[in-house]
Amino acid sequence: MSGISFILNGEPFETGSTGSLLVVLRDEAGLTAAKDGCAPQGQCGCCTVWVDGEPRVSCVTPVTRVNGREVTTLEGLTDVTRRAWGDALCATGGSQCGFCSPGIIMRLEAKVEDDHESFTKAMLAHTCRCTGWQTIEEAVAVRRGSRRISGDRDMARASERAAIEGGTHQEVGPQVAQGAGGFADDIAPRDALVALRALDGTWHVADDIASARRLAGTVQGRKSTVAIDWPLPVVDGEWSHTLCTTWVEPAYVEPDAAWCEPGGRAHGPLNNGGAFGGKTSSELREVARRLADENGRAVRVLLTREDVVRSGPKRPPMSLAVRADGSGVMHAVRTEGLVESIARFAPDWTVVEHDVVGPRTSMSLRAAGWAEVAVMRASVTDPGERGDHVTAPNGAQAWATVTDDVVTVNVNAGRILDEVVLRSYAIGATHMALGWVRSEGLAVSSDGVPLDLTVRSFGVLRAVDTPRVDVTLVDDDGPPVNGSDAVFAAVAAAAWRHGGHRSRWPLFR
């Protein structure tokens, strides 16, 4: 077959590949703004580019289909346009880790005016876990001129607040929204070998992604027809409220990735953002170091979206019951550190662990364990004027009310450091909490294997389903602490109250 030729960012480009446009852009052209969040599912939107001026998801676009056409990536936009979007998203907090932002920018620049209906419709093609959508829509208003950017900010203090909220290093600045946050697979040597994992756990190394996929036998994930279930039954007895939760996928959009030179230091997977605790136990740094030494060359070690779901940690499912005085009992899937954590946070609660066949669980995920107890305690407490109140183990406080149209949040997290970042994280935590209560869940087979393997099967709230969030930041001279976890728990409590304290989450699955 003859080579494929097309215009790439205004210049002729040729390839002999017959794979996806995304692989050609990243591995042959060296253009890394388009990200691989779910390839070849075509569901997260992170790899969006323009083909003849129209947004296309490049991971499911065969490069053969762009023969003779014009392809534009974020790198191909003018400097003025890129900077305008970077400034706008930075000014509103519409980009946190920045992984999804380049694809979103490409769709917004092509299609979206300053109109809510147009925005939410366009975002149906995208997944963003961090921001909760609202700050992205506010960035559209900045870009289109109907919203003004506030005064100068101290980006070092903004990055400090982002690191506190994310639990790991995180840069803040216009460059992050443009995809230049330093993600591991973006900064790996382009001539590095590629390693992918097969279903049996073995690693297969090849010269390129396509060859590694063939060796590893990777299979595109699907959404299961099996319904979610609740692995632990409702607690018997007379209680004020009971609640059962299910398996929940952290749903971070950047799949785990790492790379290493022989004898060198491994890079990744937490290069810019905390993935809500989901990557803290990742083995990829060790795997990259070992494979680089074995092969005598740099190696990129990548997890596919399916790998992340199958092997990544989940929030431990629970069955909880609370008394009128706020004490209670928690039955939970056995998880290292859970008993000790609850003993510190809620000594008047009893924890009973159960061995359940299922994916591995972790206490590293956002507010795991203590948030569930805080929600139960709030359910037997008068919410007061500011709504359901939660004090996190670190001393941060949050209050929340939920209606059909708006969520109201107050948060005290010590010195604010940067209002934009703290507000953005509060809105993002609100979005995650609403999804946790209303829609998020993961189907798991009888032998414990996750069956829902696509980005859209996790139940993350879409922009069209997310209400407005009003955030008030409480001034405090105390040391800055993570505030978004307290917001997460308080909003979950308020959303459960608004849903009538029904005994199973998610309420609408």
Tens-digit pLDDT profile for residues 60-85: 999 999 999 999 999 999 999 999 99
Domain closes at, from 182, 202, 237: 182
User: Residue 114: pLDDT above 90?
Assistant: no
- On whether both 333 and 448 belong to a single domain, the answer is yes
pLDDT classification of 503: cutoffs 50, 70, 90: very high
Domain closes at, from 182, 208, 224: 182
- On whether both 325 and 430 belong to a single domain, the answer is yes
pLDDT of residue 44: 97
User: Residue 365: pLDDT above 80?
Assistant: yes
Top pLDDT among 113 and 204 is at 204
- On whether both 473 and 390 belong to a single domain, the answer is yes
pLDDT of residue 489: 98
- On whether both 370 and 389 belong to a single domain, the answer is yes
Structure confidence by residue, pLDDT tens digits, 395-406? 999 999 999 999
- On whether both 98 and 69 belong to a single domain, the answer is no
Q: Mean of the pLDDT values across residues 222-239?
A: 95
Structure confidence by residue, pLDDT tens digits, 34-52? 999 999 999 999 999 999 9
Q: Mean of the pLDDT values across residues 449-477?
A: 96
Residue 443 resides in a domain: yes
- Closest CA relative to residue 500, chosen from 437, 426, 439, 445: 437
What tokens appear for 452 in the block? 């829902």
User: Residue 2: pLDDT above 70?
Assistant: no
- On whether both 172 and 152 belong to a single domain, the answer is yes
Domain that holds residue 94: 79-182
Residue 300 resides in a domain: no
- On whether both 342 and 401 belong to a single domain, the answer is yes
Q: Which CATH number do you get for residue 339? A: 3.30.365
- Closest CA relative to residue 482, chosen from 395, 419, 359, 355: 395
Residue 214 resides in a domain: no
pLDDT of residue 58: 98
Domain closes at, from 59, 76, 93: 76
pLDDT classification of 250: cutoffs 50, 70, 90: very high
Residue 9 resides in a domain: yes
pTM equals 0.97
Residue 351 resides in a domain: yes
User: Residue 97: pLDDT above 60?
Assistant: yes
Degrees to nearest 5, angle at CA 453 with 447 and 454: 160
CB-neighbour burial class of residue 284 (10 A; exposed 0-12, middle 13-18, buried 19+): buried
Structure confidence by residue, pLDDT tens digits, 416-458? 999 999 999 999 999 999 999 999 999 999 999 999 999 999 9
Q: Which CATH number do you get for residue 177? A: 1.10.150.120
Residue 397 resides in a domain: yes
Reading phi first (left if > 0) and then psi (alpha if -120 to 50, else beta), residue 9 is in: left
- On whether both 348 and 471 belong to a single domain, the answer is yes
Total count of domains within the chain: 3
Q: Which residues contact 17 (CB under 8 A, 6 or more apart)?
A: 4, 23, 24, 28, 63, 210
- On whether both 13 and 153 belong to a single domain, the answer is no
User: Residue 1: pLDDT above 50?
Assistant: no
Neighbouring CB atoms inside 10 A of 317's CB total: 26
> For 171-175, 178-182, 273-277, 371-375, which range has the lowest pLDDT when averaged over its residues?
273-277
- Closest CA relative to residue 65, chosen from 77, 78, 54: 54
Structure confidence by residue, pLDDT tens digits, 293-344? 999 999 999 999 999 999 999 999 999 999 999 999 999 999 999 999 999 9
Q: For tokens 């990777």, what's the residue?
A: 218
Distance CA 165, CA 488 (A): 12
- On whether both 155 and 20 belong to a single domain, the answer is no
- On whether both 54 and 126 belong to a single domain, the answer is no
Distance CA 275, CA 277 (A): 5
Neighbouring CB atoms inside 10 A of 493's CB total: 30
DSSP string, 13-80: EEE---SBHHHIIIIIS---SS--SSTTS--S-TTEEEETTEEEEGGGSBGGGGTTSEEE-GGGS-HH
Q: How far is CA 154 from the centre of its chain?
A: 26
DSSP string, 337-366: THHHHHHHH-TTEEEEEE--SSS-B-TTST
Residue 269 resides in a domain: no
Distance CA 16, CA 24 (A): 10
Q: Mean of the pLDDT values across residues 13-20?
A: 95
Q: Which CATH number do you get for residue 43? A: 3.10.20.30
Question: What is the dihedral angle through the alpha carbons of 128, 130, 134, 137, rounded to the nearest 10 degrees?
Answer: -50
- On whether both 336 and 434 belong to a single domain, the answer is yes
Top pLDDT among 346 and 145 is at 346
For the chain, what is the mean pLDDT? 96
Residue 69 resides in a domain: yes
